């Protein structure tokens, strides 16, 4: 048998196994896994290396048009599909799922068409879109969403905060009801909008406008309450729910409690909550704005609680929540060099650093094994968002999306080694062990020798199947 490409001599890890094997690839797919393979038109010697499924980053924001009033305050995202996907690939990720946002008054179908225009010809790796619903009108609920879900947009996100995005409980139930009918999976941004506004008003009245006040206005109970309410709404509607960017132990406990009641609740966290703290918002000269995201990073106790959640299986997925705003007048500081926290764009970059940070802090430090690393960073996202078994594993018939890692390589993260278009990284100066050296997407080498090897535009849009969270009707029964 001959192959287009053989990756030989490496240690292959999936979410289930770690084995010494060669991988044969033809026409962009994995066609053989065996102890020894020969006959590759091209071969890669992976001796001493780990051969892992390419990462899937299922929470990233790219080229997202901003609505006035979204905390971003008109700031422009620095990464579109080109630089975002290139940066992702250099970090060992081979699939991205960013967000197509429906702004108020806009048709969701029009938003999807616009987002396709933004992506086409740009991405270097494959991609799908989640749909953010900010205006669930009768036409959206009755016609547009059912049609889009049937066309393969099977994941939605709704917000419980941000002036331009927040939905009432009733509106969330309306979206959940459509998700139940059409078997879509809903992600929720769980923070209590009213409490945040009340606290922010009081902080402002006290003259507290510095970056740290951002975190003070969004304390952990705000997230805990919203998480509890979100899972209650999901219970009433009978849908599985993904609680995204969980920042500490309290909301994670809400997930545990919901699961103990038989609900299907999926938990996501991000490297910033494992590695940064609220104290980082105190950096001088407004530099604290560089780590301003929502929910905010918490404290070391929250970090430990999240690691416990990763270790005990409560956390299912780790994504970046890459929200690429530069530290300048187009991005974070659009409202001025001393902008009050309410006028600083929320979000931090992290597409390229997600996997090296999780590998180093998780696998190298002995908190998780390799299989769990693969599950958290790739396979679980593929299953949850309807991309499995095509993506997220190394198996016969799967797309040949593979990252070859040097598990010993030590790298100090500096913004000038990254490939995003953001002028900083919140992880500047952190040393990691383990780095993806060669990245293969559908059989094409896209990153090798520290350089991009493929053309932007080769990435393909993928429709999504029904989420694994719906298997066996795990949403439960609706209340009525």
Q: Applying CB under 5 A, which residues contact Zn ion?
A: 189, 321
C-alpha closest to that of 446 among 2, 101, 126: 126
Nearer to ligand URP, 10 or 347 (CB): 347
Question: Ramachandran region of residue 437, left (φ > 0), alpha (ψ -120 to 50) or beta?
Answer: alpha
Footprint on residues 348-407 left by ligand URP (CB under 6 A): none
> 29 or 322, CB closer to ligand URP?
322
Site for ligand URP in 177-196 (CB under 6 A): 189
Find, among 215, 294, 305, the residue nearest to 254 by Cα. 305
**C-alpha 299, offset from chain centre:** 22
Q: How far, in Å, CA of 407 to CA of 394, rounded?
A: 18
Closer residue to Zn ion, CB minimum distance, 249 or 350:
350
Strand partners, 348: 322
Whether residue 316 contacts residue 382, with contact meaning beta carbons closer than 8 Å, is answered with no
Task: Show contacts of 364-367: CB within 8 Å, 24+ apart.
Answer: 364/407, 364/433, 364/434, 367/307, 367/310, 367/311
Binders of ligand URP in range 44-103 (CB under 6 A)? 61
Nearer to ligand URP, 49 or 332 (CB): 332
Does 332 participate in binding ligand URP (rule CB under 6 A)?
Answer: no
**Measured between alpha carbons, how far is 173 from 100 in angstroms, rounded to an integer?**
21
Rounded to the nearest whole angstrom, what is the least distance from the CB of residue 345 to ligand URP in the complex?
Answer: 8
| Burial class of residue 117, CB neighbours in 10 A (0-12, 13-18, 19+) | exposed
Burial class (CB in 10 A: 0-12, 13-18, 19+), 101: buried
Question: Residue 122 or residue 321: which is nearer to Zn ion going by CB?
Answer: 321
346 binds, among Zn ion, ligand URP, none (CB under 5 to 8 A by kind): ligand URP
Binding test (CB under 6 A) with ligand URP, winner from 26, 247, 346, 467: 346
Q: Is 321 in the site for ligand URP (CB under 6 A)?
A: yes
| Minimum CB distance to ligand URP smaller for 246 or for 310 | 246
Q: Which is nearer to ligand URP, 347 or 356 (CB)?
A: 347
Contacts with ligand URP, 426-455, as mask; x by CB under 6 A:
------------------------------
**Using CB under 6 A, which of 98, 347, 362, 386 touches ligand URP?**
347
Identify the residue among 323, 375, 398, 422 touching ligand URP (CB under 6 A): 323
C-beta of 224: minimal distance to ligand URP in Å?
A: 17
Compute how many residues bind ligand URP; rule: CB under 6 A. 9
User: 39: exposed, middle or buried (C-beta count within 10 Å: 0-12, 13-18, 19+)?
Assistant: exposed
Shortest CB 178 distance to Zn ion, Å: 20
Report the distance separating Cα 20 and Cα 346, nearest Å: 43
Phi, psi of 202, rounded to the nearest 5 degrees: -70, -40
State the residues that interact with ligand URP by CB under 6 A: 61, 189, 245, 293-294, 321, 323, 346-347
């Amino acid at each position: 048998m001959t192959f287009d490409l053989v990756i030989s001599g490496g240690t292959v890890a999936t979410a289930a196994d770690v084995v010494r094997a060669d991988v044969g690839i033809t026409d962009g797919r994995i066609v053989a896994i065996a102890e020894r393979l020969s006959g590759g038109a091209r071969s890669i010697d992976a001796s001493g290396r780990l051969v892992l499924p390419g990462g899937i980053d299922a929470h990233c924001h790219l080229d997202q048009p901003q609505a006035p009033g979204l905390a971003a305050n008109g700031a422009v995202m620095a990464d579109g599909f080109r630089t975002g996907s290139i940066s992702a690939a250099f970090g060992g990720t081979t699939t991205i799922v960013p967000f197509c946002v429906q702004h108020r008054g806009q048709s969701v179908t029009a938003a999807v068409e616009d987002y396709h225009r933004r992506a086409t010809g740009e991405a270097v790796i494959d991609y799908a879109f989640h749909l953010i619903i900010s205006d669930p009108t009768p036409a959206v609920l009755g016609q547009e969403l059912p049609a889009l879900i049937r066309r393969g947009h099977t994941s939605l996100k709704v917000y419980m905060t941000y002036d331009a995005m927040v939905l009432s409980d009733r509106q969330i139930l309306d979206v959940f009801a459509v998700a139940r009918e059409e078997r879509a999976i809903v992600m929720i941004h769980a923070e209590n909008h009213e409490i945040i506004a009340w606290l922010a008003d009081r902080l402002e009245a006290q003259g507290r406008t510095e970056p740290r006040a951002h975190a003070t206005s969004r304390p952990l109970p705000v997230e805990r309450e919203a998480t509890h309410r979100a899972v209650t709404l999901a219970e009433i509607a009978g849908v599985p729910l993904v609680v995204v960017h969980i920042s500490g132990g309290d909301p994670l406990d809400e997930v545990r409690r919901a699961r103990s009641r038989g609900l299907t609740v999926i938990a996501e966290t991000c490297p910033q909550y494992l590695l940064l703290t609220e104290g980082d918002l105190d950096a001088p000269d407004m530099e604290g704005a560089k780590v301003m995201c929502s929910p905010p990073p918490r404290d070391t106790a929250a970090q430990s609680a999240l690691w416990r959640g990763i270790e005990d299986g409560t956390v299912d997925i780790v994504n970046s929540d890459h929200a690429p705003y530069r530290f300048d007048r187009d991005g974070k500081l659009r409202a001025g060099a001393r902008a009050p926290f309410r006028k600083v764009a929320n979000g931090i970059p992290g597409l390229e650093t997600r996997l090296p940070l999780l590998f180093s802090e998780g696998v190298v430090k002995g908190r998780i094994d390799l299989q769990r690393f693969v599950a958290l960073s790739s396979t679980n996202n593929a299953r949850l968002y309807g991309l499995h078994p095509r993506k997220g594993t190394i198996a016969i018939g799967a797309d040949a999306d593979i990252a070859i890692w040097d598990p010993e390589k030590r790298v100090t993260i500096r913004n000038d080694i990254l490939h995003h278009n953001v002028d900083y990284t919140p992880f500047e100066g952190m040393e990691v062990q383990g780095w993806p050296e060669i990245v293969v997407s559908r059989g094409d080498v896209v990153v090798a020798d520290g350089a991009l090897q493929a053309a932007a535009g080769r990435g393909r849009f993928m429709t999504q199947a029904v989420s694994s969270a719906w298997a066996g009707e795990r949403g439960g029964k609706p209340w009525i």
